[in-house]
Amino acid sequence: MAGAQMAKNEVEQSYGEFAQRDRTVHPPPFAPTYKTTVLRSPRNALISLQNSLSEITAPVFSRDELGPLDHDLILNYAKGGLPIGERIIVHGYVLDEFRRPVPNALVEVWQANAGGRYRHKKDTYIAPVDPNFGGCGRVLTDRDGHYVYRTIRPGPYPWRNSVNDWRPAHIHYSISGSGWVQRLITQMYFEGDPLIAHDPIVRTIPSESAIRQLIGVLDKNAAMPLDSLAYRFDIVVRGARATWFESHVQGQPAMQRE
Amino acid sequence: MVSELDYLKESASQTAGPYVHIGLAPHAAGFDIFENNFSHVLATAETKGERITIEGRVIDGSGTPVRDVLVELWQANAAGKYNHPADRQQKPVDPTFRGWGRACSDFESGIFTFETIKPGIVEGRGGRSMAPHVNLWIVARGINIGLNTRMYFSDETAANAADPVLNLIEWEVRRNTLIGQREERSGKRIYRFDIHLQGPQETVFFDV
């Protein structure tokens, strides 16, 4: 009895409701200096939902779904040679707002090559495609919430917003955690890049502290000497709240209700 | 002096950009890199439940389909059970059904599709039943933070009328933006669901 009760409480604690999203850290949907948002942003207020099972659950991914090179962008598209550019390791932790690690989170990344060109049929930038670089990878966090992958540092590139806008070097991130409400797409920038201050997409973020949180920092301790530099980038997703009082996400078990 | 809470702030969202396909659906970007690819097909031959197709477009404020959108879908199985340990309902998990998929809009037509099964009723907060629904999450260039919505089913009139989430929406006319319309086409059961980002038919989006 006591054991079953304890097990139930553990389930409650591991999978409670999530803290409400603090939208002040996020860019507003309508941000006219990033022109594409103008026609793609809702005008009505969002309808606020309390968490139900639909929000606190999410797909579970397993290690056997990923290939052995999925997290090695230097080798996962190499066709008899190595990609051109600065070899880097990127690592960090996926944490929740309450500083708890998020294990088994699916981290998916994609990026341009060293010249700022994407391997995508819609990208027509003049910089060449690198025959040995695909530009995407994925990894599951370990029990401590840690992830690591290896890649080539991406180049900056121009984009048509104003005619002389340039994206700073960046790596796109997609995070899938234990709850549907933790789903997040963001971008990692690189410490010291002067283009960060000029980027209309970065500038949609309302605060300097939230921008700083998206900048990966040089981490020489994680470098491989004579081989690859390293950057550290931690990601924070929505926090799972402790349920000190009765949770209403699910009703009472059917037997008790009758 | 007031002590400070040491909570962290959620990382700021950024747009998925025009090349989201590279990372999340490389075949759509035009190349083959991973052995195992996530897809818009959720149901296998063994999955229990009524086979359905969900088909739609995401439409911008000018009435133009968004042709570079990525949509993810998360749903319960035919018994109304999510394949996740937090779901403690006394219902069977279907081991052949994760309940999740992702789809890209076609670069020409803007149409996205999911091949799945119709979900069952899921217990909502306080024991109130939620009508069958799928949860959708929409990202694209120009969308600064992913949009959350739900699709309900047009042939579930009674369950929809009692659904606690639909009933949160004050304007009945806006509730209708969440109803996928059932059609039969060459023997297939299709639910048509267009998502309007702006305009008089703007879809209801949720702050979840």
| B135 has a chain A CB within 8 A of its CB | yes
3-class SS at A90? strand
Nearest residue to B169 via CA among B199, B147, B202 = B202
CATH code for B38-196? 2.60.130.10
pLDDT tens figures, A68-127: 999 999 999 999 999 999 999 999 999 999 999 999 999 999 999 999 999 999 999 999
Return the pLDDT at A153.
98
Residues in chain A closer than 8 A to B23 (CB atoms)? 108-110, 136, 138, 172, 174
Nearest residue to A36 via CA among B131, B95, B28, B140 = B140
Q: For B91-119, what is the mean pLDDT?
A: 98
Nearest CA in chain A to B139: A185
Nearest residue to B152 via CA among B109, B122, B185 = B122
Give the minimum alpha-carbon distance from B21 to chain A in angstroms, rounded to a whole number: 8
Give the minimum alpha-carbon distance from A180 to chain B in angstroms, rounded to a whole number: 8
Residues in chain A closer than 8 A to B126 (CB atoms)? 248, 251
| A26 has a chain B CB within 8 A of its CB | yes
pLDDT tens figures, B172-205: 999 999 999 999 999 999 999 999 999 999 999 9
Q: For B39-47, what is the mean pLDDT?
A: 97
* Whole-number percent of chain A with pLDDT over 70: 90
Residues in chain A closer than 8 A to B125 (CB atoms)? 50-52, 248-251
Q: How far, in Å, CA of B136 to CA of A25, rounded?
A: 23
Return the pLDDT at B113.
98
Q: How far, in Å, CA of B93 to CA of B78, rounded?
A: 9
| B83 has a chain A CB within 8 A of its CB | yes
Q: Which 8-state DSSP code applies to residue A95?
A: E
Which fold is adopted by the domain A58-240?
Answer: Protocatechuate 3,4-Dioxygenase, subunit A (2.60.130)
By annotation, the residues of A acting in catalysis are: 118, 157, 167, 170, 172
pLDDT value at A252 more than 60: no
Q: CB distance A26–B145 less than 8 Å?
A: yes
pLDDT value at A16 more than 90: no
Q: Give strand ranges (E) for chain A.
A: 47-48, 87-96, 106-110, 136-140, 146-152, 157-159, 165-167, 170-176, 184-190, 215-218, 229-232, 235-237
Q: How far, in Å, CA of B205 to CA of A47, rounded?
A: 6
Q: 10 Å Cβ neighbour count for A59?
A: 21
Return the pLDDT at A251.
64
Mutate to test the interface with B, among A26, A37, A53, A133 (most CBs of B within 10 A): A53
| A174 has a chain B CB within 8 A of its CB | yes
pLDDT band at A258 (very low <50, low <70, confident <90, very high): very low
A-B C-beta contacts closer than 8 Å: 283
pLDDT tens figures, A121-169: 999 999 999 999 999 999 999 999 999 999 999 999 999 999 999 999 9
pLDDT value at A12 more than 50: no
| B208 has a chain A CB within 8 A of its CB | yes
3-class SS at B202? coil
Q: CB distance A184–B205 less than 8 Å?
A: no
pLDDT value at A6 more than 70: no
Q: CB distance A49–B206 less than 8 Å?
A: yes
Nearest CA in chain B to A133: B33
H-run or E-run covering B12: none
Residues in chain B closer than 8 A to A77 (CB atoms)? 31, 33
Between B9-13, B123-127, B134-138, B179-183, the lowest mean confidence (pLDDT) is in: B123-127
Residues in chain B closer than 8 A to A14 (CB atoms)? 85-86
Q: Which 8-state DSSP code applies to residue B155?
A: T
Which residue ranges make up each domain of chain A? Answer: 58-240
pLDDT tens figures, A213-250: 999 999 999 999 999 999 999 999 999 987 767 667 87
Return the pLDDT at A8.
45
pLDDT value at B4 more than 90: no
pLDDT value at A3 more than 90: no
Cβ neighbours of residue A142 closer than 8 Å, sequence gap 6 or more: A103
